[in-house]
């Protein structure tokens, strides 16, 4: 009867386990626990999401760990999404010949996956390089989207980059799936009419944004009060001409109604192209008629230029006047490498952002309803020079006086979020727009905006390919061949502005990095080998002796 009772109980538990789901995550960081937005999204899938991960085959140990983390994450997705989550791991090098492999590599590159080189050590100790594609292509409902899973920051070690990539897995995969399954595609507008960057100079970021949002470009028509209502966010990309008061009023009321804006504003007129044909140029103050607007919202962009010892290199002619031109790389202090906030979800884990003729920002105002977060700063070795100023390429040839770079951490990008107050409060609206506005809002609904004091952060370079202009990747430096974090910064910023389900909070997830102490391992190698070999044996022998002594004692009674 006792045996029958336990067998019956086990059968009942097994039957109930098919209907009641429970998992227990015993890790301190909740490593295997998905966020609530992720669970809600996966359980509501109405079609199959197929994930093809191109990370398989012979890999270094770090990338094997990365592959295992991706597999575990997809298994977690399947727990909540059921059969609507399907995945496959593919080895892109598993091709019949080198020609087919190169064609497949080009196919993946055209799809949007970024390759990387890794060192492979074979069993005989030989080393070779291998191209891998640490990314995936997600298919849903006839749509296809790439997602690059490796966060490669040159300033960090390989272990740290892989660790940061593992931390970001849930966000990268879930945000891509969300953009594909969302029934309503959000609209983003690039403002035109003031000399902003054109479609070619913002081509790369527009192409990237178009994978997730509907992108529009157009002018503000003050005669149409609802012209901005359909857009989740506005982008003002490096204007050159003044905004009129009616245009400012339209943007202001858009923000008061909960609209989001990303400003890329240069208060000083100067660019590197102006030094191509002349060795020097004057940086003049640019009047855009936006100072009062931004000041009321909580920031002031100063009419100055920030120089930084932590900067990019440019080719400079070092030959004498009667010699053949000879170009050597030299630091260009007006193109700083901006440091992202490592804790904020917008900038967490991204590479340094390349700036060009950036200005400093001050946070102003005492509105308690607006929270301010600094996203980008210069390094500790920076200085500020006020405009107007003569800028010359000779500055790159002369060694800098380090004692002058004593103004650390100049703010270049600020996030503002909260309830803003209209700059047109206590003013006659009819004098501004030529009519009364019964819907005028003085104290706004919750909104977000990001103010960046460098319009070139969103500007990509252009190359001529077969007689046609083609935008280069945003953040790519053609002189050094490096790719900086400009695109990630803009993409994360837009995602944060329009995020209404809390997906961006996934970027704050932190997993502890537990690395081996390699010097200690080398020094204590024999000790730990002995421990690992003999300690388990000793433990088994002691357990057997204690168990036998206990049995003798028990049965002797």
Identify each DSSP E strand in 394-496 by its residue range.
411-421, 443-452, 462-465, 468-471
- Going from N- to C-terminal start, the domains of the chain cover 33-180, 186-508
Give the whole-number percent of the chain exceeding pLDDT 70: 95
Whole-angstrom distance, CA of residue 227 vs CA of residue 246: 13
pLDDT of 509 strictly over 80: no
pLDDT at site 123: 59
pLDDT, tens digit (0-9, with 9 covering 90-100), for 337-365: 999 998 899 998 888 999 999 999 999 98
pLDDT at site 419: 94
Q: Residue 516 — φ and ψ, nearest 5°? A: -70, 145
pLDDT at site 520: 85
List 75's β-bridge partners, or say none: none
pLDDT, tens digit (0-9, with 9 covering 90-100), for 72-126: 999 989 988 989 999 999 999 888 888 888 899 999 988 889 888 877 665 555 6
In contact, 327 and 318? CB cutoff 8 Å: yes
Mean pLDDT of 193-211: 93
Whole-angstrom distance, CA of residue 481 vs CA of residue 490: 20
pTM above 0.75, yes or no: yes
pLDDT, tens digit (0-9, with 9 covering 90-100), for 411-449: 999 999 999 999 998 888 888 888 888 889 999 899 999
The sheet carrying 268-269 orders its strands as: 268-269, 280-285, 389-392
DSSP letter (8 states) at residue 311: E
68 falls in which pLDDT band (50, 70, 90)? very high
pLDDT at site 219: 94
- Do the domains 186-508 and 33-180 match in fold? no
**DSSP characters over 1-53:** -HHHHHHHHHHHHHHHHTT-------STT-TT---HHHHHHHHT--S-EEEEE
Whole-angstrom distance, CA of residue 166 vs CA of residue 345: 15
In contact, 138 and 147? CB cutoff 8 Å: yes
Fold of 186-508: Rossmann fold (3.40.50)
Mean pLDDT, rounded, of the chain:
88
DSSP letter (8 states) at residue 461: P
Best CATH choice for the domain 33-180 from the list 3.30.160, 3.40.30, 1.10.10, 3.30.420:
3.40.30
Of the listed ranges 169-183, 263-277, 311-325, the one predicted with least confidence: 311-325
Of the listed ranges 158-162, 317-321, 377-381, 452-456, the one predicted with least confidence: 317-321
């Amino acid at each position: 009867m006792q045996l029958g009772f336990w067998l019956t109980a086990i059968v009942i538990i097994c039957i109930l386990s098919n209907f009641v789901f429970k998992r227990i995550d015993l890790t301190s960081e909740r490593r295997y626990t998905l966020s609530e937005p992720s669970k809600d999204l996966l359980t509501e899938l109405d079609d199959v999401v197929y994930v093809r991960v191109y990370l398989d085959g012979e890999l270094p140990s770090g990338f094997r760990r990365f592959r295992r983390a991706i597999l575990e994450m997809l298994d977690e997705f399947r727990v909540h999404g059921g059969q609507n989550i399907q995945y496959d791991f593919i080895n892109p090098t598993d091709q019949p010949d080198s020609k087919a492999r190169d064609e497949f590599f080009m196919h993946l590159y055209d799809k949007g996956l970024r390759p990387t080189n890794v060192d492979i050590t074979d069993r005989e100790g030989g080393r070779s390089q291998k191209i891998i594609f640490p990314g995936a292509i997600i298919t849903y409902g006839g749509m296809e989207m790439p997602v690059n899973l490796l966060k490669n920051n040159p300033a960090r070690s390989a272990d740290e980059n892989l660790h940061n990539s593992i931390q970001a897995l849930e966000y990268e995969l879930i945000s891509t799936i969300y953009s594909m399954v969302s029934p309503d595609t959000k609209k983003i507008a690039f403002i035109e009419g003031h000399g902003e960057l054109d479609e070619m100079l913002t081509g790369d970021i527009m192409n990237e944004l178009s994978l997730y949002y509907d992108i529009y470009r157009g002018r503000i028509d003050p005669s149409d009060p609802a012209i901005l209502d359909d857009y989740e966010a506005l982008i003002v990309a490096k204007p050159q001409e003044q905004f009129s008061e009616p245009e400012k009023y339209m943007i202001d009321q858009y923000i008061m109604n909960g609209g989001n804006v990303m400003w890329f504003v240069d208060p000083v007129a100067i660019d590197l192209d102006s030094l191509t044909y002349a060795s020097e140029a004057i940086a003049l103050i640019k009047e855009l008629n936006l100072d009062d607007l931004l000041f009321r919202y909580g920031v002031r962009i100063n009419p100055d230029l920030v120089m930084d010892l932590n900067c990019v290199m440019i080719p400079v002619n070092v030959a004498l006047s009667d010699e053949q031109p000879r170009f050597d790389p030299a630091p260009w202090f007006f193109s700083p490498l901006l440091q992202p906030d490592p804790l904020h979800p917008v900038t967490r884990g991204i590479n340094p952002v390349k700036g060009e003729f950036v200005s400093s920002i001050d946070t102003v105002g005492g509105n308690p309803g607006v929270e301010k977060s600094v996203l980008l700063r210069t390094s500790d070795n920076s200085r500020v020079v006020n405009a107007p100023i003569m800028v010359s390429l000779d500055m790159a040839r002369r060694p800098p006086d380090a004692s002058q770079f004593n103004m650390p951490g100049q703010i270049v990008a600020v996030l503002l979020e909260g309830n803003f107050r209209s700059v047109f409060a206590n003013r006659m609206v009819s004098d501004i727009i030529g009519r009364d506005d019964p819907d005028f809002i003085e104290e706004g609904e919750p909104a977000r905006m990001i103010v960046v004091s460098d319009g070139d952060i969103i500007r990509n370079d252009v190359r001529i390919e077969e007689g046609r202009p083609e935008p280069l990747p945003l953040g790519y430096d053609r002189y050094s061949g490096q790719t900086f974090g400009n695109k990630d910064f803009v993409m994360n910023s837009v995602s944060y502005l329009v995020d209404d389900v809390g997906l961006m909070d996934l970027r704050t997830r932190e997993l502890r990095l537990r690395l081996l102490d390699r010097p200690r391992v080398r020094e204590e190698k024999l000790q730990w080998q002995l421990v690992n070999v003999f300690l388990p044996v000793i433990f088994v022998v002691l357990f057997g002796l204690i168990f036998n002594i206990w049995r003798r004692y028990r049965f002797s009674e």
